[in-house]
């Protein structure tokens, strides 16, 4: 059994949460991990990635850290209205936090992940929630109705 570290678990937990949310309320929304794969997946696509990790000491003299994870969510929509709806939906779902899972994979089947509930992830800060405007001429179809969400999250210490 191969276990992932906290940063990877935060990213995978965020993807898993959004996948389950979209599957319950929408049809045809793909949630992916790698930005480069967004252009290979049929729109609408929601791409989730950990961009940055900020480490802070829990207290003076401690060797324990609080880790804040900067997460970027890119929305590749089919229309401007869909872009707005998807961004609003994502923000509404994330605001209350979500389950943190420890993910693992077996050596015999590395594509299948096993998840164990191990706490909560809470939003620490909303940095950005905006349309990305690349102009009108020569813009790739995938970038025509793009949205950018940037948040900071922290896993609860249990």
d(CA 2, CA 4): 7
pLDDT at 11: 97
Stated pTM of the model: 0.92
pLDDT band at residue 119, thresholds of 50, 70 and 90?
A: very high
Domain layout of the chain by residue ranges: 2-155
Count other C-beta atoms under 10 Å from residue 146's C-beta.
Answer: 19
**Residue-wise DSSP of 136-156:** STT--HHHHTEEEEEEEEEEP
Q: Which two tokens stand for residue 99?
A: 């389950």
Taking 80 as the threshold, does the pLDDT of residue 158 lie above it? no
Q: Within 10 A of 139 (CB to CB), how many other CB atoms are there?
A: 13
pLDDT tens column, 2-13: 779 999 999 999
pLDDT in tens, 58-116: 788 878 888 999 999 999 999 999 999 999 999 999 999 999 999 998 777 777 888 99
What phi-psi label fits residue 61: left (phi over 0), alpha (psi between -120 and 50 degrees) or beta?
A: left
- Supply the pLDDT for residue 139: 84
Contacts of 148 (CB under 8 A, 6+ apart): 72, 73, 74, 75, 128, 129, 130, 131, 132
Strand-pair partners of 98 = 121
Superfamily of 2-155 according to CATH: Phage tail protein-like (3.30.2000.10)
């Amino acid at each position: 059994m191969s276990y992932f570290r906290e940063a990877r678990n935060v990213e995978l937990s965020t993807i898993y949460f959004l996948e389950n949310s979209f599957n319950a309320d929408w049809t045809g929304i793909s949630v992916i991990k790698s930005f480069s794969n967004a252009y290979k997946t049929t729109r609408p696509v929601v791409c989730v990635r950990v961009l940055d990790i900020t480490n802070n000491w829990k207290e003076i003299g401690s060797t324990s850290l609080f880790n804040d994870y900067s997460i970027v969510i890119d929305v590749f929509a089919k229309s401007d209205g869909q872009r707005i709806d998807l961004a609003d939906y994502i923000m509404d779902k994330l605001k209350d936090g979500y389950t943190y899972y420890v993910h693992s994979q077996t050596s015999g089947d590395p594509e299948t992940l096993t998840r164990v509930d191990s706490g909560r992830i809470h939003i620490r800060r909303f940095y950005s929630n905006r349309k990305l405007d690349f102009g009108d001429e020569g813009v790739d179809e995938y970038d025509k109705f793009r949205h950018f969400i940037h948040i900071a999250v922290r896993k609860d210490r249990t």
